[in-house]
Amino acid sequence: MTSEQFDFSREQLKRSHFHPRQAAFNVRDAWSAWNGYKFADCYYDAEYEYFCVRNTCGTYDICPMQKYNIKGRDAEVMLNRMVTRDITKSRVNRVSYVVWCTDEGRLIDDGTIFKLADDEFMLVCGSPCTAWLEKSAFGFKEVTITDVSDEIAALALQGPTSCTVLRKMGLDGITKVKPFNISYFPFQGESLMVSRTGFSGDLGYELWVKPEQALELWDALYAAGANYGIHPFGETATNMARIEAGFIMPGFEFNEALKTVHFEHDQTPFELNLGWLVDFKKSHFNGRSALLAEQTRGARFTLTKLDIEGNKTAEGSFLYGNKQCSLEIGYVTSAMWSPAVKANIALAMIKTEYLGGNIWAEIYYEKELRQYSKVARCEVKEKPFWMPARARANPPAGSLV
């Protein structure tokens, strides 16, 4: 049999605009897929890439992220009715982190809204949401929604040396860009959009250019970053960084509510500790009544950061209110040994009523093919595990080298 017989009508994963360069780095051929794009789990070694993000800098391909251009006189009211946060407070050239919910107040997805002009926005999110956007726009006369996911080449540059690298690349004034701000820089005859955003919890930027300029951007960046430890990082390293930063991820902390079958197999913003994104003072938004009722009643679960004794990661663990493990109070959603903070950390959904008490994790682990279990004490952490001052500092510390 020829390989052609197995090629399923020649259906192929799309290649990212940065693929030619990334493929060269991907010495392990560790590809998986994301939104129809061929996407790297890691390039060389996930831990190595993680350390680049934490100690120097790394690039993460966000071409597969879904990007929607939402334009027109009603664009703002339409989006404001869709998301729980008041985006009318945002200024042009600002980015807002937002979530949006079903009528029942269950989280559909999170994402960022880029305010490009008074009547133009870009919504960036992890999963396709054309159908929901179309439904959300129904009834608003002047708004057009365009899926521009493939028409923008976007690359995240994250880590302590990221600002310096951009400066070396010639982006004069990059040090003035504040967190969640957007700025434009001339780049090889065109305009390069830079936002101080990211998913690593550290200092970082996201770069947005036309697809034709993708490789030029890459080359310029890697030339400037040669002495600053730049390296591409894949999904695995991203996941490590975001757990330390306490960011939620679909498939871990939450299920996209439009995709769940079972009632309450999805979550609310309050359960995910994102109550600060829900603004009851603004005009009506989707899920408002349900969320108002939940606020009064109190969230059933609360997403909690845990520091767990020992070094056995608590992936998939049940949590108990007592050491005998007879009182089940929740479950771990993400867990890892954090090399940066040298702690056994986890994110967990815990029944709110038990938050004040003792928390024990029942951890299963393996040693040379033998299974063991232990019960470990957990300590609740209020702050993200990784939150260096430079991430928010203006100008970012260390960037003036």
Partner 1 sequence: MHRYNSIIIGAGHNGMVCANYLARSGQKVLLLESSDSVGGLASVREFHPEFKTSIAHSISYFSEKVARDLNLKKHGFNLDAAPLPTIGLSADTNHIVLQGGRISGVANDDEQSYGKYLELIQRFANMVKPFWLQTVPPIGNNSLPEIMSYAHLGMNMRLMGKADMREFLRILTLPMRDLMDENFDNEILKAMLSWDGLIGSKLAPRSPNHSLITLLLRMSGPTAHQVSSASVKTLIEALHSSASASGVEIRTGAPVAEIVIGDGAEGLLATGVKLDTGEQIEADCVISSADPKKTFLDLVGVQHLEIGFTNRIRRLRADGYVAKFHLALKELPEFSGLDSPDGRLLIAPDMDVIEFAYDDAKYGHCSMVPVMEIVIPSIHDETLAPAGQHVLSAHVMYVPRYLQGGWDDQVREAYTQLLIDTIAKYAPGIREQILHHELLIPADLEREYGVTGGHWHHSELSLDQSLMMRPTYGAAQYQTPIGGLHLCGAGCHPGGGLMGGAGHNAAQEILK
Considering only CA atoms, which of 13, 18, 12 is closest in space to residue 233? 18
Q: Which is nearer to partner 1, 15 or 89 (CB)?
A: 89
Identity of residue 92: V
Among 48, 140, 222, 252, binds partner 1 (CB under 8 A): 140
User: Which of 280, 297, 286, 303 is CA-nearest to residue 351?
Assistant: 303
Taking CB under 8 A as the criterion, the residue among 16, 69, 112, 136 binding partner 1 is 136
- Residue 157 falls in which region: left (phi positive, over 0), alpha (psi -120 to 50) or beta: beta
**Cβ atoms of residues 133 and 68 within 8 Å:** yes
Q: Nearest distance from residue 99's CB to partner 1, in Å?
A: 14
Question: Which CB atom, from 103 or from 264, has the smaller least distance to partner 1?
Answer: 103
Alpha helices in 56-109 (DSSP H): 75-82
Nearer to partner 1, 227 or 283 (CB): 283
- 285 vs 385 by CB, closer to partner 1: 285
84 belongs to the binding site for partner 1 (CB under 8 A):
no
- Label residues 245-274 b or e (16+ Cβ within 10 Å = b): bbbbbbebbbbbbeeeeeeeebbbbbbbbb
Options 17-25, 137-145, 160-168, 323-331: segment touching partner 1 (CB under 8 A): 137-145
Which of 82, 182 has the CB closer to partner 1? Answer: 82
Using CB under 8 A, count the residues that bind partner 1: 19
Question: 100 and 81 in contact (C-beta within 8 Å)?
Answer: no
The yes or no reply on residue 293 touching partner 1 (CB under 8 A) is yes
Query: Quick check: 245 binds partner 1 (CB under 8 A)?
Result: no
Show the CA angle centred on residue 259, arms to residues 258 and 264, nearest 5°: 80
* Rounded (10°) angle between helices 235-245 and 46-55: 50
The rounded distance, in Å, linking the Cα atoms of 274 and 152 is 29
Closer of 110 and 253 to partner 1 (Cβ): 110
CB 38 within 8 A of CB 31: yes
Quick check: 286 binds partner 1 (CB under 8 A)? Answer: yes
**Which one of residues 227, 289, 311, 394 is an interface residue with partner 1 (CB under 8 A)?**
289
Which C-beta is closer to partner 1: that of 33 or that of 293?
A: 293
Q: Does 298 bind partner 1 (CB under 8 A)?
A: no
Q: Are 83 and 285 in contact (CB under 8 A)?
A: yes
Q: Do 59 and 155 touch, CB atoms closer than 8 A?
A: yes
**49-57, 64-72, 128-136, 326-334 -> range binding partner 1 (CB under 8 A):** 128-136
Phi-psi category of residue 319: left, alpha or beta, with phi > 0 → left and psi -120 to 50 → alpha: beta
Instruction: Kindly state the smallest distance separating residue 336's Cβ from partner 1, in Å.
Output: 36
| Smallest separation (angstroms) from partner 1 to the CB of 212 | 37
When the beta carbons of 21 and 106 are compared against partner 1, the nearer one is 106
Could you give the string, one character per residue 42-81, with x where binding to partner 1 holds by CB under 8 A and - elsewhere? -----------------------------------x---x
C-beta of 133 vs 207, nearer to partner 1: 133
The span of 5-13, 59-67, 244-252, 282-290 binding partner 1 (CB under 8 A) equals 282-290
The answer to whether the beta carbons of residues 79 and 285 sit under 8 Å apart is no
Provide the minimum distance between the beta carbon of 283 and partner 1 in the complex, in angstroms, as a whole number: 7
Q: Using CB under 8 A, which residues numbered 101 to 120 contact partner 1?
A: 102-103
Omega before residue 128 within 30° of 0, cis: no
Which residue type, as a one-letter code, is found at position 369?
L
Window of 2-10, 90-98, 283-291, 339-347 that interacts with partner 1 by CB under 8 A? 283-291
- Shortest gap between Cβ of 332 and partner 1 (angstroms)? 32
Q: Which strand (E) or helix (H) includes residue 163?
A: helix 162-168
Angle at 63 between CA 78 and CA 182, to 5 degrees: 60
Among 117, 223, 292, 387, binds partner 1 (CB under 8 A): 292
Among 6, 29, 138, 368, the residue binding partner 1 under the rule CB under 8 A is 138
Binding residues vs partner 1 (CB under 8 A):
77, 81-82, 102-103, 132, 135-136, 138-140, 283-284, 286-289, 292-293
